[in-house]
A and B are shown apart, each in its own frame.
Chain A
Amino acid sequence: DTGVSQDPRHKITKRGQNVTFRCDPISEHNRLYWYRQTLGQGPEFLTYFQNEAQLEKSRLLSDRFSAERPKGSFSTLEIQRTEQGDSAMYLCASSSALGTFTDTQYFGPGTRLTVL
């Protein structure tokens, strides 16, 4: 068990550019979550997957945000046409769900995005 990993850890981009972040969950976990955390705030839920199915995406912040988990393993979060307001820490978490919703989420270290 190597934990949840995220890549890159830091990303600096110019406004208008597209960025993509990767999350590798704990290998046996079938659920994967994305959050955004801004300074002084708690994590804000964005979306989650069970295996490769994206079961909740209504909380994605705009249509510029999209996420995929093509083979039910790693996931990517893409932000198109970045804006300065997108600057934040993007967190990924994974968990093992067997029909129960009390499963523990394990968080990765996050990707810090700075939009200039």
Chain B
Amino acid sequence: AQSVTQLGSHVSVSEGALVLLRCNYSSSVPPYLFWYVQYPNQGLQLLLKYTSAATLVKGINGFEAEFKKSETSFHLTKPSAHMSDAAEYFCAVSVSGNQFYFGTGTSLTVIP
């Protein structure tokens, strides 16, 4: 069975500080991993995805994530937080491409 665990349901950072959102996955076979962002009253939007190519994946809005098989992790980072980054972030895993398993989400607050 596949699953993801997002550590920290709420994360607060100061504007300009590093953003680090944690995601650990469980999968018996090589997974595909995704990060989505959900702004208030909007649909989920794909930030980036890992598809077994480069382990460091760059996404939109300056975000990136690194796939670490030894740690079963796929943490999301951004060097410098902007106020506009405040949103809910979801990590997701898929192995079959037919079913996707989402984490419980991390709410990011950016403090001016």
Contact = CB atoms under 8 A, between A and B. Distances in A.
Interface of A: 3-4, 33, 35, 40-45, 48, 55-56, 59, 91, 93, 97, 100-110
A70 B92 CA distance: 29
Interface in B69-112: 90, 92, 94, 96-105
Contact of A43 (B9, B51, B102): B102
B97 A91 contact: no
B97 A42 contact: no
Given A42-B104, A43-B102, A102-B51, A97 B43 contact: no
Interface residues of B, number: 24
B101 A45 contact: yes
Contacts of B99: 45, 48, 56, 59
A110 B96 contact: no
B46 interface: yes
B46 A105 contact: yes
Nearest to B100: A45
Given A91-B43, A108-B43, A109-B43, A101 B105 contact: no
A110 B96 CA distance: 24
B102 A44 contact: yes
B90 A42 contact: yes
15 contacts: A42-B104, A42-B105, A45-B101, A45-B102, A48-B98, A91-B44, A102-B32, A102-B51, A102-B97, A104-B49, A106-B43, A107-B43, A107-B44, A109-B41, A110-B43
A48 to B, nearest CB: 6
Contact of B102 (A4, A42, A97, A109): A42
Nearest to A99: B97
Contact of A103 (B42, B97, B102, B104): B97
A4 B43 contact: yes
The list of the 6 closest CB pairs from A to B, nearest first, reads A101-B97, A42-B102, A107-B43, A107-B44, A102-B51, A43-B102
Q: Which of A4, A91, A105 has the most CB of B within 10 A?
A: A105
B65 to A, nearest CB: 15
